Structure 1
């Protein structure tokens, strides 16, 4: 009971210390609210309200069909311009796409002749340039095909491809981005809060006070783990339920209880890693540099940004040792696909084992560093 009381009191001390740190409070609030919202809405990878201009020299029914198909929200209403204006508007950055439909276009299409349509693309707008070119090509081909069916006999295709989008039927990038931002923020804050708490005590000289108290390194470490972990858990719960589900309207398929069970295991591993980094670093700038070396590979190579299966095999094998990899896989399975315990238990078990190993290594290193200070 004395150990539990010490762990509780030390954890409360950490929470009080955190409450007096406005920078950390701002980081927590920003990471789980504004950052999640802007990630989901400000920079969508899909085409959204792109400026397009059209030079229609044909003025036919077919050209009008193509122009009418360039509708919001993918494109802004097309601006009708002349051929002389096309290059000048593109040079000034007014238009991302300029579509030139030549004279006699409908006549040549009905006659079965080869027809060329010119599409100018401002490739400095990378994401829109790559995505929009394919969209416009698909729209033009679709409208031509439907138009020709009214003039030629229909030809039955031997195979019909039916596309069904699972788990994200709207193909809305915001659904993916908002949830993944929470997943990344959970690991980020768990490492930063515990590492910064340890360094803050070293810089303020309170570590020496702890050494003369009847507490063990285990009690000191586990108090930081539970207190900072609780902050991350409560913040992520608020972000997922209020910001993601209520404000952004993103549907969550799986069990929140199962998801936050996985969050707890991941936070346990991440806070242990944070203490390990905080023990190595002697100042906050050093800790920041270590975070760059550790956190970026964890996020980039965990499958949060690109599919894990597309990475080289050696990278996949190495990243199996990182808690982030299993946490991202588990979170995506539960929140996107509604997976239950029978599907995600391998990831939960991996998180538990990795967390115990990281905690044991961090405790040994922490105990050794405290021994040198005595």
Structure 2
């Protein structure tokens, strides 16, 4: 009973220390508001408002039809561009796409000569260029088929492909990006908050004061874990309700309670990792340098930025040892697909096992650092 009282009071002490740390408080506020809202609402993955220059050398009804087929929000209204200004416009990056319809295009098409339309792409706008060129090809193909009286190009093919998007039928990139931003911020804060809290006590001498009290390394470590865990879980819940659901209007299908429980389990593993790194460092700058090669792979290789299946097989196996990999999988399954415990229990067990291993290693290192 005394141990639980010690852990509770030490955790309350962590809250008091955090309340007086204005920098960390501002970082918490930024991480769960602006850092989520801005990328999710502004950074659109795909083609959006792409600029188009249109060189019409045919001046026919068909060329006007092609120009009018490029509609918002994917494309801006095409701007008429003289042929002699083509190179200058592309060199200045004035347009992402410049389309050139040659003279006699309509006549050649009706005569069955298979004329070509030139689509010039500024490939420095990588995602827009790659996807937009495909969009333009599909749009023009549909318009040309309609103009020549063919209703469907797939009618002559042996099979018809029907694509359906589940869980995000409009393919809104901001939906997934908002959740991934929360996952990334949880990872950063879990490691930073616990690591800096331990180093702050060591630098201020308060850790030495704790050692003269009847406290064990386990009690000190558990106090730091539960207090920082509670702060991040509460911030996550508020961010999901206020920023994700209300401000961004993203529907969340799954159980909020289950996701917050998974978040707490993930924080158990991540905060232990933060304490382990803090025992290796002798100052806050050293801790920052140690955290960079740990946090960056956790963010980039967890399956949030790029699909895990696209990575080399050996790297997929290595990343199974990272708690962030399982947390990303659990977040998408619970919040978007509404998966219950019966579906996600393998990732839950893996996350628990990794957390216990990290906690045991960090506890052993923490005891050794206190004894030295």
Pairwise CA distance, 1:158: 3.7
For 1:30-69, what aligned pairs fall within 5 Å after superposition? Answer: 30-69=30-69
Matches within 5 A, 1:276-295: 276-295=276-295
User: 1:337 is paired with a residue of what secondary structure?
Assistant: coil
In 1: Cα distance, 2:101 partner to 2:217 partner: 75
Task: State the 4+ residue runs in structure 1 displaced beyond 4 angstroms.
Answer: 150-157
Q: Structure 1 residues 360, 186: closer, same or farther in 2, change over 3 A?
A: same
Mapped pair 1:28 → 2:40: no
Aligned counterpart, 1:78:
78
Deviates more, 1:219-228 or 1:136-145: 136-145
- Normalised TM-score (structure 2): 0.96
1:181 aligned onto 2:173: no
Partner of 2:128: 128
Residue pair 2:190, 2:228 contacting (<8 A) in 1 also: yes
Q: Determine helix, strand or coil for the equivalent of 1:270.
A: helix
Q: In terms of mean alpha carbon deviation, does 18-27 or 154-163 score higher?
A: 154-163
- Once the two structures are superposed, residues 269-306 of structure 1 have per-residue CA deviations (whole angstroms, 9 ceiling, x without a partner) of 00111111111111111111111110111111111111
Deviations 1:147-198 (A, max 9, x none): 2126999955442222211111111111111111111111111111000100
Q: Deviations over 1:65-108 (max 9, x none)?
A: 21111111111111112111222222222211111111111111
Structure 2 match to 1:195:
195
Point out where structure 1 has 5 or more consecutive residues left out of the alignment.
none
Cα offset, 1:59, TM superposition: 2.1
Q: Name the structure 2 match of 1:113.
A: 113
| In 2, Cα distance between equivalents of 1:154 and 1:358 | 55
Match of 1:261 in 2: 261
Q: What is the root-mean-square deviation of aligned Cα atoms in Å? A: 1.7
The 10-residue stretch of structure 1 (144-153 or 248-257) with the greater mean CA deviation from structure 2: 144-153
Change (3 A) 1:350 1:101: same
Q: Corresponding residue for 1:360?
A: 360
Q: Structure 2: where are the runs of 5+ without partners?
A: none
Task: Deviation per CA, 1:135-154: give whole Å up to 9, x if none.
Answer: 11111111111221269999
Deviations 1:16-41 (A, max 9, x none): 11111111112111111111112212
Tell me the number of residue pairs that the alignment of Structure 1 and Structure 2 aligns: 372
What residue number does 1:162 align with? 162
Equivalent in the alignment of 1:10 = 10
d(CA) in 2 for partners of 1:145, 1:16: 70
Inter-partner Cα distance in structure 2 for 1:81 and 1:38:
34
Alignment of 1:288-327 (within 5 A): 288-327=288-327
**1:60 to partner: Cα distance:** 2.1
What whole-Å deviation, never above 9, does each CA across 1:44-77 have from its counterpart, x for those lacking one? 2211111111111222222222111111111111
